[in-house]
Structure 1
Amino acid sequence: MIDEKDFNSLNKPRSKKLHAKVDFSAMVSISFLLIIFYMVMIEISKPKAMNLGLPDMCGEITCGISCGPRPDRVITILLDDNNKVITYQGLLEVPDDKPKTLSYGKEGIRKELLKKNKIITEQLGDQDRGAIVIIKPSKKSNFGNLVSILDEMAITNIQTYAIVNDFTPDEAKLLAMN
């Protein structure tokens, strides 16, 4: 026969007391992967932009009033369709040279910019103060033309240039004639 003591022991299952162990190695690996992922994403998401040196509009005094830099330092580049570049130095009403139609590349706009920048720096006697280039893309020009002219600014080492969207009526006539 079964003893009452043995009977109670059969009906009550006893649980074993286990010491819980948590393995954190997988969590540590995932946390390092997440940290690396966020560091890479922060670096990739930083904006990449080209530095533009804009002209100082509080330049020398000409014509009795302060109207920006000396006109003989200013070279205006008009970007037109079919990869045409029209350039003139000074004011269009009284340009130092006749407006020229050039092409992109080594023998086109680059040669002209290097020549004009050298003349301007020799006249001023200061290597840090060269030509000021105003780039005016027309509605007919494409984005590739703008990128090409910005590359030319970097190649010719012209520090001061600006991209302007305004055309004077004389510049619009000049574009229409060419």
Structure 2
Amino acid sequence: MKNLPQKVRSKKLSSRVDLTAMVSVSFMLIIFFMVIGELSKPKVMELYSGRGGCGPEPECNKPDENLVLTLLLDKNDKIITYHGLLTFPIQTPKKVNYEKNGIRKELMEKNKMVLEYSARLGRPERGVTVIIKPTKKSNYGNLVNILDELEIANIDSYAIIPQFTPEESKLLASN
């Protein structure tokens, strides 16, 4: 009998697939979409007016002007502050600078004063609410500096409003 050539058998590879990398990627995608879903939810801030809702009269639903400090940011690193309403200010408007003894001192004093005021009235302690009004002539760095000073003074209630009242426009023009 002749030697027949033997069949060459192909080597069988392992049919096992390593899915470790696929599982890691899947978990990372799940975490990514959970975080994105949480961050995309709208955030709402409660508006504290200082008084409870007392009725439909406009006078009784006004915010307490004792809790408000307004900062007007103008060109050449100029800041004008006033406490309360500009028509009847608790503190007359004054110029301050961006130094330690300027705006930082002013913010800390007003926050302390407002905390004492709300404690005297038996309300929950709430610090000053700062309204920041940058003019078109002020620069972005001034706004960042003010936000840093608010952080240093532990003031977490503020608003950035680009509109000015006619009285505030006159005040800026006169200074």
TM-score range, shorter chain: 0.7 to 0.9
Aligned pair partner of 1:21 in 14, 39, 46: 14
Q: Which amino acid aligns with 1:100?
A: K
Contact 1:85 1:103 in 2 (8 A): yes
State the TM-score, normalizing by the size of structure 2.
0.73
Q: Which runs of 5+ in 2 are unaligned?
A: none
In structure 2, how many angstroms separate the alpha carbons of the residues matched to 1:92 and 1:115?
Answer: 19
Q: Which amino acid aligns with 1:77?
A: L
CA change 1:158–1:53 in 2 (3 A) is: farther
Aligned pair partner of 1:97 in 91, 96, 111: 91
In structure 1, how many angstroms separate the alpha carbons of the residues matched to 2:34 and 2:77?
Answer: 36
| Alpha-carbon offset, residue 58 of structure 1 | 7.0
The reply on whether 1:154 has 2:151 as its aligned counterpart is: yes
Matches within 5 A, 1:25-104: 28=20, 30-31=21-22, 34=25, 55-57=47-49, 59=51, 65-104=59-98
In structure 2, how many angstroms separate the alpha carbons of the residues matched to 1:100 and 1:54?
Answer: 30
By relative contact order (CA 8 Å, sep 6+), the higher-ranking structure is: 1
Percent identity for Structure 1 against Structure 2: 38
Structure 2 equivalent of residue 112 of structure 1: 106
Paired residues in the alignment total: 165
More strand as a share of residues: 2
State the TM-score, normalizing by the size of structure 1.
0.72
| Alpha-carbon offset, residue 98 of structure 1 | 1.8
Q: Which runs of 5+ in 1 are unaligned?
A: none
| Alpha-carbon offset, residue 92 of structure 1 | 0.7
Contact 2:50 2:64 in 1 (8 A): no
3-state DSSP of counterpart to 1:97 = strand
| Alpha-carbon offset, residue 105 of structure 1 | 2.9
Higher radius of gyration, 1 or 2:
1
3-state DSSP of counterpart to 1:107 = helix
